[in-house]
Amino acid sequence: MTGKKPILLSAIKPTGDLHIGNYFGVMRQLVELSKTGKYQLLVFVANYHALNTVQDAEEMRQRTRELVRAYIATGLDPKEVIFFKQSDVPAHTELCWIFDTITTMPYLMRAHAYKDAEAKNKEISVGTFNYPLLMAADILLYDTAVVPVGADQKQHVEITRDVAEKFNRIFKADVFRLPEAYIMPEVATVPGIDGQKMSKSYGNTISIFASRDELAKQIMSIVTDSSGKRPENVYRMHRLVRTDAELLPLYDAHRGNYKALKELLIEDLDRYLAPLRAAYGLLKDDSSIIDDVLARGRQEARTISEAKMEEVRRTIGVY
């Protein structure tokens, strides 16, 4: 199935409703990359990463299914892409442990997520501290060539490269391939309705599958300043679906009329998202599709990762 194409691997945690930051930051480019035919795509639900925050079985189950449905609705073809759940492939946690043993605590303390928690004086779980190493295992198990991520995940890919190099050096073997992060600068950070980075943890999101009414409500509440100049927060979001050349004359014509500009944005975003919303609705009616896709993916991901684990076990002398 994977043939000789380079592997492109992506994952999202099932931790909340998908928003247009996730979509324009990662999912859309994933669909574009899949259409080039240049890569074999592996896409998984990072449910063990999510377990640090989602600690309710029903919520975990439901969000996992929603995520796979969303990926398919936004244009990934389940006949081409291998979809699976992280927890269905035991090699992820096994390799994570091996990485634990070759990584120091001071090194992991430099990770952004840890530093943020520390700055806020928050107590974090060992799982959150260790998050980057589970992610390194996710990526390295499949000889991944490319990892498309938002700018906030760049450091995790750098950590992954460090871990791969360190393992190869310690065991004097060329076991792990160094992956590249793939970040589209143009949409590197999608702003939320308050102008900060859109994130479910800031409560400033717009859902990909929001109804037109919800969309209108959220867009109307985008924060603007009262200087009378271009409302930057509205413009930045508008740029996701239209070019500068199209937008500049519109924003000139409606200078100072924020309401009119927001209404235009509602129109444009709704037109863009309507087909995705419709596809998502159709998939909701047939849940067996999702079960089949995940069962197939589980088999394929296990086969690939088990071969890599045999190589790893032999290399470290436990085989």
If binding is defined by CB under 6 A, does position 14 make contact with ligand ADP? no
Rounded to a whole number of angstroms, the minimum distance from the CB of residue 221 to ligand ADP is: 17
Q: Which does 236 bind (CB under 5 to 8 A by kind): ligand TRP, ligand ADP, none?
A: none
Residue type, 282: L
Considering only the stretches 125-133, 190-198, 225-233, 311-319, report the one whose residues sit in contact with ligand ADP under the rule CB under 6 A: 190-198
If binding is defined by CB under 6 A, does position 139 make contact with ligand TRP? yes
Rounded to a whole number of angstroms, the minimum distance from the CB of residue 163 to ligand TRP is: 13
If binding is defined by CB under 6 A, does position 46 make contact with ligand TRP? yes
Q: Which residue among 8, 135, 149, 208 contacts ligand ADP (CB under 6 A)?
A: 149
Nearer to ligand TRP, 6 or 254 (CB): 6
> Of residues 154-173, which lie at the interface with ligand TRP (CB under 6 A)?
156
Contacts of 80 (CB under 8 A, 6+ apart): 34, 41
- Tell me the H-state helices in the chain: 20-22, 28-36, 47-50, 57-73, 91-102, 105-108, 112-119, 126-129, 131-140, 154-170, 212-220, 232-238, 244-253, 258-284, 288-316
Q: Which residue among 9, 96, 276, 312 contacts ligand TRP (CB under 6 A)?
A: 9
Please report where in the chains the tokens 């592996």 appear, as a residue: 42
Burial degree of 30 (CB within 10 A; 0-12, 13-18, 19+): buried
If binding is defined by CB under 6 A, does position 179 make contact with ligand ADP? no
Q: Which does 200 bind (CB under 5 to 8 A by kind): ligand ADP, ligand TRP, none?
A: ligand ADP
If binding is defined by CB under 6 A, does position 141 make contact with ligand TRP? no
Burial degree of 188 (CB within 10 A; 0-12, 13-18, 19+): middle
Q: How far apart are CA 148 and CA 141, in angstroms?
A: 16
Nearer to ligand ADP, 21 or 132 (CB): 21
Neighbours of 95 (CB within 10 A): 24
Q: How far apart are CA 15 and CA 180, in angstroms?
A: 25
If binding is defined by CB under 6 A, does position 181 make contact with ligand TRP? no
| CA-wise closest residue to 78 among 16, 34, 15 | 34
| CA-wise closest residue to 93 among 43, 52, 135, 38 | 135
Rounded to a whole number of angstroms, the minimum distance from the CB of residue 231 to ligand TRP is: 29
Q: Which residue among 7, 8, 10, 280 contacts ligand TRP (CB under 6 A)?
A: 10
Q: Which residue among 198, 208, 210, 266 contacts ligand ADP (CB under 6 A)?
A: 198
Neighbours of 198 (CB within 10 A): 23
Helix (H/G/I), strand (E/B), else coil: 11:
strand
Q: Which residue among 7, 13, 262, 265 contacts ligand ADP (CB under 6 A)?
A: 13
Question: What number of chain residues touch ligand ADP (CB under 6 A)?
Answer: 18
Q: Which residues bind ligand ADP (CB under 6 A)?
A: 12-13, 15, 21-22, 25-26, 149-150, 152-153, 189-190, 197-201
Q: Which residues bind ligand TRP (CB under 6 A)?
A: 9-13, 46, 49, 135, 138-139, 147, 149, 153, 156
